[in-house]
Amino acid sequence: MKIAIDKNSVNIAKNDGNEYIYLFDNEDYRELLKIGLHCLDYRYCEFVDINLTDYNVECIKKAKPIDKDWDKVERKNYKIGIIIPNYNYEHTIEKCLESIFSQTYTNYEIIFVDDMSTDNSIDVAQATYLKYCAKELKGQDPEWTELPKNFKLVRLQQKRLNGGARNEAYLHLSDDVDYVYYVDSDDWLYDEHSLEKINNKLQTQPDVLFVGMASYKNDKLTTCFIPQYKDKYEAIQGWSGSCGKVIKKNLATRQECLYNEGTLKEDRNQHRRICIYMNDFKLLQEPVYVWNQQNTKSVTTIREKVVWGTSTIRQYADTLQLALSVKGKDKEIDRLLDNAVKKCKQEMLEGKDRQW
């Protein structure tokens, strides 16, 4: 284990088989050499939590800070599984996929799950990927069977809505995927550096990375969410949309954290479960994702339909079930879930949706 220490804990360093890394700020090189430990200037390494004594720091340091590369850090490139559920979004799929294919960070795979579309969604998705591959192969006409394996298209054989599509996608993730991220097929990534920014914030291997988002409405792009959570209790009450967080694969695919299927309000309780079962989290306080509020076919624009009304009833039942399943383990979580149950019940009885 690599353990980060600061001025207040430097004396605990001992010869116990661990590698101790001293975190410093504006100290003389000669004084650093007296410490006899690997040294790291935390100003060049924003992902280090300097106030934690026992911490697994993913870096390799040379013992002598006078070496030319003494302040360099070895970063890991975590593989991100990008899950895209889709139903009849042929008009937005190309923009969505191209925003991913244009990323400067390339250690990812896409699981595109089609929920029995009746339009040309699958054809558009395949054509967009082929166009990307042809560009990568410098104009050659690629055969589908010879394409890179970072794009998987899954066709559902029965209607499962977004929650079921995401659950199915988990079964198709490669074994070496480290984190999962959700991108809806009518949305897109903010810029070509979105995944690179995400990976930079994953260096301490948090269970969850909450990310900032922008909204696209009236042909304008504006920041709509920047995470500010101080603890898991604030996170439980926060933005519940799937696209606002990157989750460690073994947490996202945990049985207790799977999505509710057959409902349009699948995000909210999955968000609560993730926050309940996570051990730690980080914040990326700038937008890396664009929520397309200009899409007239989005589920948030069809609330007058029967399926939205039944989803409101399911939301109450699912929230009550979650509250009962974890009751007694944490008093504050019990209180928050009890409040959520009351709000869901009120929403159901009044036939309204406050999008809280």
Rounded CA-CA distance 25/32 in Å is 10
Q: Is the pLDDT of residue 351 over 80?
A: no
pLDDT at 138: 63
Residue-wise pLDDT for 16-35, tens only, equals 667 777 777 777 767 777 77
Nearest to 57 by CA among 182, 205, 178: 205
Q: Is the pLDDT of residue 10 over 80?
A: no
24 and 50 in contact (C-beta within 8 Å)? no
Q: What are 89's two structure tokens?
A: 């979004």
Q: Is the pLDDT of residue 81 over 70?
A: yes
pLDDT at 143: 62
Q: Which of 38-52, 87-101, 159-173, 289-303 shows the lowest per-residue confidence on average (mean pLDDT)?
A: 38-52
What residues pair up with 245 in beta bridges, in sequence order? 210
User: What average pLDDT score do residues 105-122 get?
Assistant: 96
Q: Is the pLDDT of residue 284 over 80?
A: yes
Q: Is the pLDDT of residue 283 over 70?
A: yes
Confidence of residue 132 (pLDDT cuts 50, 70, 90): confident
Total residues found in the chain within this entry: 356
pLDDT at 63: 36
pLDDT at 50: 38
Residue-wise pLDDT for 137-151, tens only, equals 665 665 655 566 789
Rounded CA-CA distance 215/130 in Å is 29
Rounded CA-CA distance 238/51 in Å is 26
Confidence of residue 60 (pLDDT cuts 50, 70, 90): very low
Rounded CA-CA distance 265/248 in Å is 22
Rounded CA-CA distance 104/31 in Å is 40
Residue-wise pLDDT for 229-249, tens only, equals 999 999 999 999 999 999 999
pLDDT at 65: 43
Give, as one character, the DSSP assignment of residue 28. -
- On whether the pTM is more than 0.85, the answer is no
State what percent of residues in the chain have pLDDT above 90. 62
Rounded CA-CA distance 21/13 in Å is 9
The whole-chain average pLDDT of the chain stands at 84
Confidence of residue 291 (pLDDT cuts 50, 70, 90): very high
Q: Is the pLDDT of residue 315 over 50?
A: yes
Give, as one character, the DSSP assignment of residue 268. H
pLDDT at 221: 96
State what percent of residues in the chain have pLDDT above 70. 78
Rounded CA-CA distance 260/251 in Å is 16
- Region at 139 (left for phi over 0; alpha for psi -120 to 50; beta for the rest): left
Q: From residue 220, give the alpha-carbon distance in Å to each of 116, 292, 299.
A: 32, 10, 21
Q: What are the backbone angles phi and psi of residue 300, rounded to the nearest 5°? A: -75, -5
pLDDT at 334: 98
Confidence of residue 310 (pLDDT cuts 50, 70, 90): confident
Q: Is the pLDDT of residue 348 over 90?
A: no
Residue-wise pLDDT for 319-344, tens only, equals 999 999 999 999 999 999 999 999 99
